[in-house]
Amino acid sequence: MTKSHYHFNVILRPEPEGGFTALVPALPGCITYGRTLAEAREMARDAVAGYIESLRKHGEPIPSDAESLVTSLDLEYAQTAGR
């Protein structure tokens, strides 16, 4: 049995009520939640595995973030008067 290797970027976003939402941009709708960073990462791993299993079952291609470049952007702007 051959194994395939895929790379997926995961965004871990802290939530105001606590915990972290995990989003996988390469897999639309693949979003999960964990109470801690470690749990959110594990939940993301499980969600991705289930997503890939569904894609395989339906004969659809499996996307990967292997060629994606990840960056962040900080933006500063002035508040307008009266707002």
pLDDT in tens, 3-30: 888 899 999 999 999 999 999 999 999 9
- The residue-averaged pLDDT of 45-54 equals 97
DSSP letter at 61 equals -
User: Is 80 exceeded by the pLDDT of residue 67?
Assistant: yes
Alpha carbons 77 and 57: distance in angstroms, whole number: 48
User: Half-sphere exposure of 54 toward its Cβ, with a 13 Å CA cutoff?
Assistant: 10
> CA-based diameter of the chain, in Å?
66
**Res 83: pLDDT:** 57
- The residue-averaged pLDDT of 69-78 equals 90
Please, what sign has the CA dihedral across residues 3, 62, 49, 42? positive
**Res 82: pLDDT:** 65
